[in-house]
Structure 1
Amino acid sequence: MDYALLMSNFARQAGRKLTQQDLLYESLRKAILDGDIGRGTQLVSTRALAEQLGIARNSVLYAYERLNEEGFITASRHGSWVNRVGAANPVPAAGRSDANGAGLSRRALALPPRRSASSAGHGFRPGVPALDEFPLAQWRIALERAWRYTDARDLGYGDSAGHPALRRAIAQYVRVSRGVRCTAEQVFVTDGTQASLDLCARMLADVGDSVWIENPGYNGARVAFLAAGLDLVPMHVDAAGMVSTPADWQRTPPRLVYLTPSHQYPLGSVLSLERRSALIEHARANGAWIIEDDYDSELRHSGPPLPSIQGLVADAPVVYLGTFSKTMFPALRIAFMVVPPWLAADTAVALGSLARQGRVADQLALADFIESGRYARHLRRMRRVYQQRRAALVEAIGRHMAGLVTVSADAGGMHLSVRLDVPVNDVAVSDAAREQGLHVSPLSIYCLRAEDAARYNGFLLGYAEIVPQHADALVARLARVIRGLM
């Protein structure tokens, strides 16, 4: 294997500047995934490869360590070997296949052609993580290990609260990373945030009760609460999060208060500590519940994640919601709730009557992923990826859309919001952009009342799927759409 040629070809195709260690890592990763370096191949020693390429040995060690962490290779003191993660089986000749069909091509199976996640034509979809950067090989290894420890007893319906191993792992993780006060018995695994919201609405409120909801706010919460027959009360949001006053508590006292305090959806503001404390105090006094949706707080780009509302005081009337759809991948369909100790027994009964747990191997694999530290390493890497992708998008907006929009100041998560500075309607722009293959979410659709829509004329732009070298062309295309409507 000519590693210098491998790196040169990758650098030319990637069209971006990389450090020597990143270039070596990326080129080896691609070669393994493409099957150019097959399973069982022993890689050149770090010392020999450093001499061959004329680079520092630490650069080679860095590349090999990352490949090992992500499951692409197995490293020992005797050498490094490639794991089975690439194209292990060649496509057979036309009209032929092996005995079990493992070599069939995608065309023979009538599957759509493969497309890279970054160029699939979805543009600026919010809420979808950078699936092209997910450590799939590492996850496969975790799944294989989980299946090895699964027996016939695990093939039926599982504990409706979730597998004990995963509940323990989540409890430990949120205690350390988010300051959540809990034990494993307070953690309940669900099939997604929407399922968690539905359970909260049914368990904590009665038909006709009021629920405060951020305006603009998350449409999924709106749907869940309306389906439960609750009365939605839109609450204004400013740079310090949801605005509520003592008069609001007297005039329209809520049974539930739904918040996205660490990264308000969709505007990105952070709820101030003063408002967090006031909400807990008023909720206690009025017998209300706070639902804290912490959907992507782990992806804060500067500084550590903000502490949760739930952890501010020991007896806070808060149900804390988290999800792995943003930090892992949406198809995993695993989220969780953390309830106060006095609500745990009732939650177990409610879940037992409404849901049946399955997918034991997925839950065991995720528990292993968290406890081994691989989840934390994945998050650290994704923060860097999203920081770079956001920076590239903001730079492209400044280059092509100066005078057309104003960019929000938030620096976290996987999306940013922009306000239109020209007299065009955000829904009209979204419709026109869709015809150009761009998914642009209008800010106005996140408002509960029509009279508020005009105040939020802009867009929610997701950047997780947009690799930096594609940002300029996508933004230029969106700018042309906006100017075409002026």
Structure 2
Amino acid sequence: MPATPTPPAPLMPQVLLEATLQRHPGAEPLQRQLHRRLQQAILAGRLAPGSRLPGSRALAEGLGVSRNTVIAAYEQLSAEGYLQPDRQGTRVAALARPAATTARGRPRAEETATPGSPTLPHPLAQRLAQRLAHIQPTGAGTQFGLPLRPGVPALSHFPLAAWRRALDRAITQAGPAALAYGEPLGEPALRAAVARHLSVARGVRCSPEQVVITEGAQEALSLCARLLSNPGDRAWVENPGYRGAKAALRAADLTLHPLPVDREGLCATELDWARHPPRLIYVTPSHQYPTGAVLSAARRLQLMEQARRHGCWLIEDDYDSEFRHAGESIGALQGLVPQAPVLYVGTFSKTLFPSLRLGFLVLPEALLPGLQGPLGELLRGGQRHSQLALAQFMESGEFARHLGRMRRLYRSRQSALRSALQQHLAVPHQIEGGQCGLHLCVRFGPRWPDQAVAEQARQQGMAPSALSGFALPPGPADNGLVLGYGNTSSELFAPLIQRLSRLMQAL
């Protein structure tokens, strides 16, 4: 019986020998270099599907490496599905190559464009969710350290030593158990501390069971939209108003209906209720953002009654009402009447520091039976040491003492900024929103386009926000700046406003 002929050894593919493997200090291991070379050749089509690779001994001799290096690379590629070993040797698997390469492995036109030439968008990059087209970047970047930026607290005045002690106690007392997931709705100790604080400081009617700890107010707003609305539902928003709320509502596929804001806050007419009935209403009643208006008692009661009648929910964002500069603190809308149709949202980003990323959502008692189950699936209890430390920080009185110090500081800074504007801003203007919070709103005429002013200010080391960027869409009256004073020392306001005045006059 004649012997079975031995199949001829495959030719050494030139692609494997076209460049030597790197051996200089700091180079990748030879096995990883060989693995990547083979992988890229297969994906680019330079090693055709079904082609047989040379044996490990022959390839090792051709590359000047050990046979074990080749065997290890072959085994890894086989495990990943690029190669198929059989009795005849090792073959290239049949793969559907990425569309970015042609049949001959040449890059498409957009990959060969020269620097500076126009490039075509990647096909997949054109298939983003349509809702993203309505979420526009602010252009402010991450310039959190620049003066006059709204929404940034006085970080240099935060009691780091006391916070470090609270963290140390939380880590020591909780032990390794706190490294696991916690309660989805938040640490019970923090939920109880938040409920007690809100009851005393903001007049909120709630039990710890109604409190949900979130990753800042933004997650709380997203939860409200996802849990209480369906795609295509309508949401009312203040105009001008907080951009983050608009982004959260749009990301839930809601249709936004902007309502104007005057000195008494949100203006909703009977025509609005008749023609544009909402599912959700977002409102900042105690200190409207960014104008600083306070929703009057008459409008609060009317809004609550209409919400009950139309079966919609109010989302109350109480973002910085802890810092009232004149008179007593204005109570929360949520606590105005029993069983209010209000979801109350708050954050520790302004009262403590932004990177803490802790906020809270107070659910109406009527929603608890229906939402506790879904929330348990949507949320994962994390940041447990920070939550436990914050609970101790609040229960020890450190939180209340810090708030007291910050109220006095921000009152002084607000007064200094108002004085600097009156003395040094040499263009006609109107100051709004000076009785609470961390910012002032300054309106001026169209002679000075606020977007251009804000951009010029950024180039000169300041970070105010253009008022028109908060409007949907901006009108002639929405021209001005939102000036933060939380992160800026009082003695800096005069030279900053002088600089701002000069650049406005130069436009």
TM-score, normalised with respect to structure 1: 0.73
Q: Mapping of 1:400-419 within 5 angstroms?
A: 400-419=424-443
Rounded to whole Å, the distance in 1 between the matches of 2:330 and 2:470 is 24
CA shift, 1:187, in A, is: 0.4
CA shift, 1:121, in A, is: 5.9
Query: Partner residue of 1:484?
Result: 506
Q: Aligned-pair RMSD on alpha carbons?
A: 1.4
CA shift, 1:438, in A, is: 1.2
Rounded to whole Å, the distance in 1 between the matches of 2:374 and 2:260 is 32
What SS does the aligned partner of 1:237 have? strand
Q: For the structure 1 residues 479 and 121, does the alpha-carbon distance in structure 2 shift closer, same or farther, using more than 3 Å as the test?
A: farther
In structure 2, which of residues 473, 479, 486 is the aligned counterpart of residue 464 of structure 1?
Answer: 486
In structure 2, which of residues 278, 289, 292 is the aligned counterpart of residue 268 of structure 1?
Answer: 292
Query: 1:313-369: per-residue Cα shift (whole Å, max 9, x none)?
Result: 111111000100000000111000001112123332232222212121111111111
Question: Are the aligned partners of 2:346 and 2:361 in contact in 1 as well (CA < 8 Å)?
Answer: yes
In structure 2, which of residues 480, 485, 496 is the aligned counterpart of residue 474 of structure 1?
Answer: 496
Q: Mapping of 1:266-345 within 5 angstroms?
A: 266-345=290-369
Query: 1:215-269: per-residue Cα shift (whole Å, max 9, x none)?
Result: 0000001101111000000001000000012222111110001000000000000
In structure 2, which of residues 359, 378, 382 is the aligned counterpart of residue 354 of structure 1?
Answer: 378
Q: Mapping of 1:75-474 within 5 angstroms?
A: 122-421=146-445, 423-449=447-473, 452-474=474-496
> Which is further off, 244-253 or 214-223?
244-253
CA shift, 1:406, in A, is: 1.8
Q: For the structure 1 residues 422 and 403, does the alpha-carbon distance in structure 2 shift closer, same or farther, using more than 3 Å as the test?
A: farther
Query: 1:349-402: per-residue Cα shift (whole Å, max 9, x none)?
Result: 232222212121111111111112111111111011001111111111122114
What SS does the aligned partner of 2:333 have? coil
Question: Are the aligned partners of 1:405 and 1:422 in contact in 2 as well (CA < 8 Å)?
Answer: no
Q: How many residues are paired up?
A: 365
State the structure with more CA Rg.
2
Rounded to whole Å, the distance in 1 between the matches of 2:424 and 2:280 is 43
Query: Partner residue of 2:29?
Result: none
Rounded to whole Å, the distance in 2 between the matches of 1:443 and 1:353 is 39
> Which is further off, 250-259 or 351-360?
351-360
Amino acid in structure 1 at the alignment position of 2:475? A
Structure 2 unaligned regions, length at least 5: 1-142
What SS does the aligned partner of 1:290 have? strand
What SS does the aligned partner of 2:195 have? helix
Query: 1:191-229: per-residue Cα shift (whole Å, max 9, x none)?
Result: 011101111001000000000000000000110111100
CA shift, 1:137, in A, is: 0.8
Question: Are the aligned partners of 2:446 and 2:479 in contact in 1 as well (CA < 8 Å)?
Answer: no
CA shift, 1:405, in A, is: 2.2
Amino acid in structure 2 at the alignment position of 1:248? D
Amino acid in structure 2 at the alignment position of 1:255? R
Rounded to whole Å, the distance in 2 between the matches of 1:191 and 1:361 is 14
| Percent sequence identity over aligned pairs | 50
> Which is further off, 395-404 or 312-321?
395-404
CA shift, 1:275, in A, is: 0.6
Query: 1:285-311: per-residue Cα shift (whole Å, max 9, x none)?
Result: 111000000000001111222111111
Rounded to whole Å, the distance in 2 between the matches of 1:322 and 1:393 is 26
